Chains A and B, each alone.
Chain A
Amino acid sequence: GIQVEQSPPDLILQEGANSTLRCNFSDSVNNLQWFHQNPWGQLINLFYIPSGTKQNGRLSATTVATERYSLLYISSSQTTDSGVYFCMLQGAQKLVFGQGTRLTINP
């Protein structure tokens, strides 16, 4: 089945810094999403981005489907950005998650 790898696994930054999270996948995809999991476990939708680039405030995402990767950019980080970020994609009729990137933003 399709393999998904997120990097880095952990990222610790100071407030105000910028960050780039990466999601590599092993096969073509029809569906790719980025989520932020809050401390209570809720998965918050960030982007639905099978291809192209989207922006929402301080966050943006780019998926290059032909090269099998997606990037999530967070600019001017705030402490509320802390948490785990997941990419999820569709492969062989199943939805597959990466292992996540744990982002810690220190004040």
Chain B
Amino acid sequence: KAGVTQTPRYLIKTRGQQVTLSCSPISGHRSVSWYQQTPGQGLQFLFEYFSETQRNKGNFPGRFSGRQFSNSRSEMNVSTLELGDSALYLCASSWMTSGSYNEQFFGPGTRLTVL
């Protein structure tokens, strides 16, 4: 089975721009979660989608948004980029049952640099 894939792997943007990252889950997985990793804050949960619906959200501003398509692929968007948005963005997929997460499998990440 193919693992979780993320595109692009590296991205350089300037302040004020917007960016869209993509995540394709493991076949059959319907839950996709997104995380931000920075040296200062560590790994932080952004949001989680299940069957095209956002089920849970972390403590991030509204500039961070996402969506999930009917094939379970997910995208996250960051608008009006700030320098502090420079980070490794990771997505994970799982075979989520109702109300509880099962084992999470992570993609290789997208490293975003904001200049």
Contacts and interface: CB of A to CB of B under 8 A. Distances in A.
B92 to A, nearest CB: 8
B81 interface: no
B108 A96 contact: no
Interface range for A = 20 to 34
Interface of A: 30-31, 33, 35, 40-43, 45, 48, 86, 88, 90, 93-97, 99-100
19 contacts: A30-B101, A31-B102, A31-B103, A33-B103, A33-B104, A40-B108, A41-B88, A41-B90, A42-B108, A42-B109, A45-B106, A48-B103, A93-B55, A93-B56, A94-B45, A94-B56, A95-B101, A96-B45, A100-B42
Interface of B: 33, 35, 37, 42-45, 48, 55-56, 58, 88, 90, 92, 100-106, 108-109, 111
